[in-house]
Amino acid sequence: MNVSPELYPFTPHRFDLGGQAMSYLDEGQGPVIVMLHGNPTWSFFYRDLVLQLRDRYRLIVPDHLGCGLSDKPQDYPYRLADHIANLEKLIAHLAIERHALMVHDWGGAIGYGYAERHPERITAQIIMNTAAFRSSEIPKRISLCRVPRLGPLLVRGLNGFAGAAVWMAVTKRLPAKVRQGFLAPYDSWANRVAVQRFVEDIPLAHGHPSWETLLKVEAGLEQFRDLPTLILWGGKDFCFTENFYKEWQRRFPKARSIYLESAGHYLLEDAGPEVKQFLEGWLAEYYPPLPLDD
């Protein structure tokens, strides 16, 4: 897989999920932050934050099954409940008892699905352009990718989702090596299976296979209302619009909210320095690293 070691200088670990392997990063020492990506990204999305924080924090960054360097089984269901269960198994395997949660895109529903089952483990939360609650709001370009027969042709055959995202999810042109890094795991029809399944699994109405799972995720959000919370939001996101940002503010009124007006969905690419600055200050106040030994 063609990913520049300069951009992704990590050695991933592998965790067996009953015959399928999940790839994940386990970098650094200190208080734990679990970082969850969405579709069609992978742990590569968090690469700069991992490099920035691993001298003070332990960072767990999985690739959801079917994504990134994880296995990509062709007959796997790839439902929200499956991803939640996989994350639960990984954290249990690592024996992590307390951690902060950082989520983006599908990472929100997956992360809070796990958190709803283990609320006592969540110490702080960082929320970026995501949702973990019901919404009927969906861009037409994504709806098109859900049309039977046409959707798989666009997403898996023509790479019209992951390939388009490196242009449409940003407001600043990505360097060629960064575009290659995002797309490297999704270089064939077979390797784009989860990209398609994630699109199909968006639960917009009652009767969808993941609808009841999402209802449970949404109902669980209330118990995190008073946790230290940082909301970082790219204001030019065509998918997770300002309406989602306001809904998070409504649900977590004590959160510190940063609206990065000129950043797109991949806000870590468009506004990396600003995100790092805000995150550093917030972590120092609400989730500080352990003091150094004398």
Distance CA 261, CA 280 (A): 20
Q: Could you tell me which residues come within 8 angstroms of residue 80 by beta carbon, excluding any fewer than 6 positions away?
A: 109, 110, 113, 201, 203, 210, 213, 214, 217
- DSSP category for residue 153: I
Domains and CATH numbers, the chain: 13-139+206-286 (3.40.50.1820)
The amino acid at residue 40 is P
Query: How distant, in Å, are the alpha carbons of 7, 15, 53, 104, 124 from that of 28?
Result: 17, 18, 8, 21, 18
- What distances in angstroms separate CA 217 from CA 7, 90, 109, 231, one per listed residue? 34, 19, 7, 18
What pLDDT sits at residue 3? Answer: 84
Beta-carbon contacts of 288 under 8 Å, excluding residues fewer than 6 positions away, are: 31
For 85-126, the pLDDT digits (tens) are: 999 999 999 999 999 999 999 999 999 999 999 999 999 999
Query: Which helix H or strand E contains 109, and what residues bound it?
Result: helix 107-117
What pLDDT digit, counting tens, does each position of 177-217 carry?
999 999 999 999 999 999 999 999 999 999 999 999 999 99
